[in-house]
Amino acid sequence: MVRAVLKAAFIAGLMLAACAGSSAARENPRVCGPFGDPPADTISAPKPYCWGAGLRGPWHDANGTERYACINEPQAAAENGRFPLIVYLHPSLFGTATVHATGLLRDLNSFSFGAVRSGYIVLEPLGRKTTHFYPFPDRNGLGWDNWYRQLNPAGGVEVGGTIYRENVDAAAIDHFIAEEIAAGKVDPARVYIIGWSNGAAMGLLYALNRPNIAAAAVYSSPDPWGAFDDPCPQRPVARPPGNDTEIQIFNPRLPVMHIHNSCDAAAMCPNSELLASQLEAAGSRVSDIILSPFGAQVSGCMRACGVDPKGDPDNPLGWTLGLANHGQWPLRWTSVMLQFLRDHPLQRPRAAGRDETPGRRELAPARSTVLNTAPALRASVRSAGASSRAAFAEYLRYQRPAAGPACALCILRVTSARARRRGNGVRRPDAPVRP
């Protein structure tokens, strides 16, 4: 029942877009920079209703905005043991309740990642209401800022004398992941990302910049480096950027599965294909799965539903058939996504590499992007048992050590020399499996 209501609300809300053109999403165009667009303007940050799940937060980001997340744990989580963690990022305009439409909670207790017990944890951070570069009615609303692409694992950076702080949405995701790790219930080698639409775009942007993320499986993602009316598109590269049209990603070997529709909302199937080609050019291997309107895997996009690699908000099929496809999660493929994640644990740390671009230096961040030194988190780790502290220390092996002075939790740090000794290899994704 919940899934049916959410599906109807999702499609009904987006159908408003059928009567709109493709005018720019943000009212005042601003100058592009080394990280794409300027940070999105915050309108508000609501508190989620978690539908029987646990609530995490509030935690205040660098803007002082209260951030929240919902948490769903398997029944076996009450016992001792560590479980895979799936971070679910919701689509724009719709919040964390959309997880009920994905089937992830259906399999919460039964799906096995090969551990002694079945089950996994689902963490659902909530985005902010901000301005977007999407067609109407998604020019502003709840969602994620994947247009300001400063997600350097070290935190803030300085370019040409200007300090660029970390994307606050990425920092919020970092915090809630670290909080769950500190609780001692999460297997640090199995932290995954799943996202839908704008949440898929943010999920890819985040996971491709966090070496501690094992794999990502997303549904119907626009290209987070350039789609629709984004005035500041960039090309992801696995090296220091040559100019502002490029941006470095710090986890380019991330195993990625992207499921999307041959006819998608705003005719964005060609944009999703552009995304796949960009990631492959940067060194990633993407399992790119295109679905027909009946949910079967097909070989390419529907040409009648658009051919523009930026997407086409004026395409009639995009706002009818494509919108209906986009607003419905492909439930029969959820198990395929989970199998893909299960097959790609984090084998060993992936070296992020230091940014050596002339004139660009890393700052000593006020806090590490994963090892958050907020008082509440420090207290939670201090009060945790030995097994919880050991789990958190293991998790940090997969994080790039932060620059700057020692933090309050430096006893849990692992030196960069140790990380280098462990190497940076990772298994490549397997071919997609049909459901």
Q: Which residues lie closer than 8 Å to 433 by C-beta, 6 or more apart?
A: 336, 339, 340
The β-bridge partners of 257 are 217, 287
Q: What is the pLDDT along the chain (435 residues), one digit of tens a residue?
A: 445 444 444 444 443 343 333 333 343 345 899 999 999 888 888 898 998 899 999 999 999 999 999 999 998 876 767 999 999 999 987 889 999 999 999 999 999 998 767 999 999 999 998 876 776 665 677 899 998 999 999 999 999 999 999 999 999 999 999 999 999 999 999 999 999 999 999 999 999 999 999 999 999 999 999 988 899 999 999 999 999 999 999 999 999 999 999 999 999 999 999 999 999 999 998 999 999 999 999 999 999 999 999 999 899 999 899 999 999 999 999 999 999 999 999 976 554 443 333 333 333 333 333 333 334 444 444 444 444 445 445 444 444 433 332 232 222 222 233 333 333 333 333 344 445
Count the Cβ atoms, other than its own, within 10 Å of residue 121. Answer: 23
Q: What is the rounded CA–CA span in Å between residue 98 and residue 11?
A: 12
Domain definitions of the chain by residue range: 2-422
CA–CA dist 286, 277 (Å, integer): 9
**Whole-prediction pTM:** 0.78
Contact assessment for residue 345 and residue 189, using Cβ atoms and an 8 Å cutoff? yes
The gap from C-alpha 161 to its chain's centroid, in whole angstroms, comes to 29
Name the class of domain 2-422: alpha beta
Residue 22, both tokens: 């493709």
The one-letter amino acid code at 399 reads Q
C-alpha–C-alpha distance, residues 242 and 248, integer Å: 10
